[in-house]
Structure 1
Amino acid sequence: MNTPQAGALGRTLRWLRDSQVARQFGWLAMAKIVQGVASLAAALAVARALGPVEFGALSLAIAIASFVAMIAALGLEQIATRELVAADSGARTLALLRRLRWSGALLGAAALLAVSVLPQVHALGASHLVLILALLPLAQVGDLAEWRLIASGHGRRVAMAVVAVSPLAALVRVVLAFGGFGVVAFAWVLVAEWALRSLLLSLLARGLGTQSGEGVATVALRDALELLRESTPLLLAGIAVFAYMRIDQFMIAAMLGQQQVGLYSAVVTLAELPLVVPTLLLRAALPTLTRQSMDNPLTRDRTLVRLMGVSVYLHLAMSVVLALLAEPLVVLAYGEAYRGAAEAFRLQVLAAPLVALGVLSSGWLVLERRTGHALRRTVLGAVANIGLNFWLIPAYGIAGAAMATLAAQALATWLADAAYRDTRGLFMMKTRALWPGNWGRT
Structure 2
Amino acid sequence: MKTKNRLRIASEQKLGARQVNATGLSRLIKKMRRYLVNVTWLFAGKIVRMMFSLLVGIWVARYLGVEQFGILSYGIAFAMLLRSVAMFQLEGICVREIIKTPAEKDNILGSAFVLSFVAGLFSFLIVVNSIALIRPDDPVYCILVSIVGFGLIFLCFEVFDYWFQSQLDAKPVVVARTIVLSFSAALKVSAILLHAPLVFFAWITLVELILMGGALVLANMCSGQNITKLRVKVKWLKKLLCDAWPLALSGMAATIYLRIDIIMVGEMMGAQDVGIYTAATRLAEAAYFLPICIMATLYPAVVKSLENKNVDSEIRMQQVYNLMILMGYGVGIIATLFAGPVINFLFGEQFQQSSQVLSMYIWSGVFVNIAMAKSAYLKARNFTTILFVSTFTGAVVNVLLNLILIKEYGVTGAVWATIISYSIEAYFILFLFPCTRKQAFMISRAFVMPIIRFKDITS
Q: After alignment, is 294-303 or 138-147 more displaced?
A: 294-303
Give 1:394 deviation, angstroms. Answer: 2.1
Whether 1:344 and 2:357 are equivalent positions in the alignment is yes
**What is the match of residue 277 of structure 1?**
290
Partners in 2 of 1:358 and 1:329 — Cα distance? 27
Give 1:113 deviation, angstroms. Answer: 3.7
**What is the match of residue 67 of structure 1?**
81
Give 1:149 deviation, angstroms. Answer: 1.4
**What is the match of residue 148 of structure 2?**
133
Partners in 2 of 1:436 and 1:420 — Cα distance? 24
Q: 1:212/1:33 Cα in 2 relative to 1: closer, same or farther (>3 Å)? A: closer
Whether 1:176 and 2:211 are equivalent positions in the alignment is no
Partners in 2 of 1:230 and 1:85 — Cα distance? 16
**What is the match of residue 266 of structure 2?**
253
* 1:219 aligns with one of 233, 238, 241: 233
Q: 1:285/1:230 Cα in 2 relative to 1: closer, same or farther (>3 Å)? A: same
Instruction: Report SS of the residue matched to 1:363.
Output: helix
Letter paired with 2:69: F
Q: 1:436/1:210 Cα in 2 relative to 1: closer, same or farther (>3 Å)? A: same
Contact 2:56 2:189 (8 Å CA) reproduced: yes
Contact 2:246 2:388 (8 Å CA) reproduced: yes
Give 1:413 deviation, angstroms. Answer: 1.0
How many residue pairs align between the two structures?
426
Contact 1:345 1:402 (8 Å CA) reproduced: no
Letter paired with 2:293: L
Partners in 2 of 1:352 and 1:273 — Cα distance? 10
Partners in 2 of 1:402 and 1:416 — Cα distance? 20
* 2:255 aligns with one of 236, 242, 264: 242
Q: 1:292/1:207 Cα in 2 relative to 1: closer, same or farther (>3 Å)? A: farther
**What is the match of residue 7 of structure 1?**
none
Deviations 1:43-87 (A, max 9, x none): 111111111221111111111222223211111111111112222
Partners in 1 of 2:329 and 2:379 — Cα distance? 26
Partners in 1 of 2:82 and 2:229 — Cα distance? 29
Deviations 1:400-426 (A, max 9, x none): 100110111111111111122121021
**What is the match of residue 418 of structure 1?**
431
| Overall identity of the aligned pairs, in % | 23
Give 1:209 deviation, angstroms. Answer: 7.1
Q: After alignment, is 155-164 or 135-144 more displaced?
A: 135-144
* 1:154 aligns with one of 142, 148, 169: 169
* 1:34 aligns with one of 48, 53, 66: 48
Q: Which runs of 4+ in 1 moved over 4 A?
A: 14-17, 207-213, 436-441
Q: 1:245/1:15 Cα in 2 relative to 1: closer, same or farther (>3 Å)? A: farther
Deviations 1:231-258 (A, max 9, x none): 1222222222222221111221222112
Give 1:297 deviation, angstroms. Answer: 7.2
Whether 1:402 and 2:418 are equivalent positions in the alignment is no
Letter paired with 2:73: S
Give 1:438 deviation, angstroms. Answer: 8.6
Deviations 1:372-393 (A, max 9, x none): 1111112222222222222221
- Consecutive unaligned residues of structure 2, counting only runs of 5 or more, are 1-27
Give 1:282 deviation, angstroms. Answer: 1.7
**What is the match of residue 185 of structure 1?**
200
Give 1:91 deviation, angstroms. Answer: 2.3
Instruction: Report SS of the residue matched to 1:67.
Output: coil
**What is the match of residue 307 of structure 1?**
320
Contact 1:244 1:385 (8 Å CA) reproduced: yes
Contact 2:128 2:142 (8 Å CA) reproduced: no
Instruction: Report SS of the residue matched to 1:135.
Output: helix
Give 1:30 deviation, angstroms. Answer: 0.7
Contact 2:319 2:451 (8 Å CA) reproduced: no
**What is the match of residue 18 of structure 1?**
32
Letter paired with 2:247: L
**What is the match of residue 50 of structure 1?**
64
Instruction: Report SS of the residue matched to 1:422.
Output: coil
**What is the match of residue 117 of structure 1?**
132
**What is the match of residue 228 of structure 1?**
241
**What is the match of residue 20 of structure 2?**
none
Q: How does 1:287-306 map to 2 (within 5 A)?
A: 287-296=300-309, 298-306=311-319
- Consecutive unaligned residues of structure 1, counting only runs of 5 or more, are 1-13
Partners in 2 of 1:172 and 1:19 — Cα distance? 37
